[in-house]
């Protein structure tokens, strides 16, 4: 298993205490569906994704909740000198310029793992687009794992894990469920938010 900020002996317990303190000092509240904490494998959505601050609060929350997520990021983030640091923060480099089969590779990784949380920002970027990318849906379906609705809500200063959703066969119906859940979740820059569909 790759050592990350979320599972490094001695260091991680100290970071968990610091994360609790920082969340308290910032005035943020962590909200969590307890069912999600019992799962060993799932796709964790991170939305709305409108600011680099989202990652900061996500990391603090993951530390506080004792999660060990990995996340996908553009490969440019993993070049020297930041590559090792990005991987220590749980990053998996993705070359978005190639039509490689990231979905199948992630499904295979789930099938080979006893425990795996893959965090995905379904918007794909911090800028506004037409709709969410749907790779997370196909990963969850292919690996037969649920999707957990990770969220951030800046006006309420809340961050956490929402409902656990099993993905059905109808993509449009699933996107409608996400649209309903995220309807009242507001990012730091609401004008940059990309709705599910």
The pLDDT of residue 34: 95
The pLDDT of residue 197: 84
**51 vs 76, more confident:** 51
Whether residue 74 is predicted with pLDDT greater than 80 in this model: the reply is no
Q: Average pLDDT of the chain? A: 92
Q: Within 13 Å, how many C-alpha atoms sit on residue 127's CB side?
A: 1
Query: Between vectors from CA 158 to CA 85 and to CA 131, what angle results, nearest 5°?
Result: 75
Q: What is the mean pLDDT of residues 53-78?
A: 91
> Is 164:33 a contact under the CB 8 Å cutoff?
yes
**Structure confidence by residue, pLDDT tens digits, 79-131:** 999 999 999 999 887 766 654 578 888 898 899 999 999 999 898 766 677 88
Whether residue 179 is predicted with pLDDT greater than 70 in this model: the reply is yes
The pLDDT of residue 183: 95
Burial state string for 128-152 with b = 16 or more CB within 10 A and e = fewer than 16: eeeebeebbbbbbbbbebbbbbbbb
**Structure confidence by residue, pLDDT tens digits, 8-26:** 999 999 999 999 999 999 9
- Three-state secondary structure along 70-120? EEEEEHHHHCCCCHHHHHHCCEEEECCCCCCCHHHHHHHHHHHCCCEEEEE
Alpha-carbon gap, residue 106 to 160, rounded angstroms: 23
Alpha-carbon gap, residue 165 to 147, rounded angstroms: 5
Residue 76 pLDDT grade (very low, low, confident, very high; cuts 50, 70, 90): confident
Q: Which of 50-54, 152-156, 181-185 has the lowest mean pLDDT?
A: 50-54
C-alpha dihedral (103, 69, 79, 128), degrees to nearest 10 = 70
H-helix or E-strand spanning residue 153: strand 147-153
The pLDDT of residue 129: 79
**Structure confidence by residue, pLDDT tens digits, 125-160:** 666 778 898 999 999 999 999 999 999 999 999 999
Q: What is the DSSP letter of 191?
A: G
The pLDDT of residue 73: 72
């Amino acid at each position: 298993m790759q050592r990350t900020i979320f599972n490094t002996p001695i260091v991680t317990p100290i970071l968990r205490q610091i994360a609790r303190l920082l969340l308290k000092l910032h005035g943020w509240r962590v909200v969590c569906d307890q069912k999600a904490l019992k799962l060993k494998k799932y796709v964790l959505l991170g939305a709305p994704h409108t600011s680099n601050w989202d990652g900061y609060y996500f990391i603090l929350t993951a530390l506080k909740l004792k999660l060990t997520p990995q996340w996908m990021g553009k490969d440019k983030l993993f070049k020297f000198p930041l590559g090792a640091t990005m991987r220590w923060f749980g990053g998996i480099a993705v070359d978005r310029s190639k039509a490689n089969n990231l979905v199948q590779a992630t499904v295979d990784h789930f099938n080979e793992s006893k425990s795996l949380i893959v965090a995905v920002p379904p918007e794909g970027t911090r800028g506004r687009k037409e709709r969410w990318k749907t790779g997370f849906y196909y990963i969850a379906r292919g690996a037969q794992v649920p999707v957990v609705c990770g969220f951030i809500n800046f006006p309420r200063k809340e961050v956490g894990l929402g409902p656990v959703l099993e993905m059905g066969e109808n993509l449009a119906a699933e996107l409608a469920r996400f649209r309903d859940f995220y309807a009242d979740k507001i990012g730091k820059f609401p004008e940059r938010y990309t709705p599910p569909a």
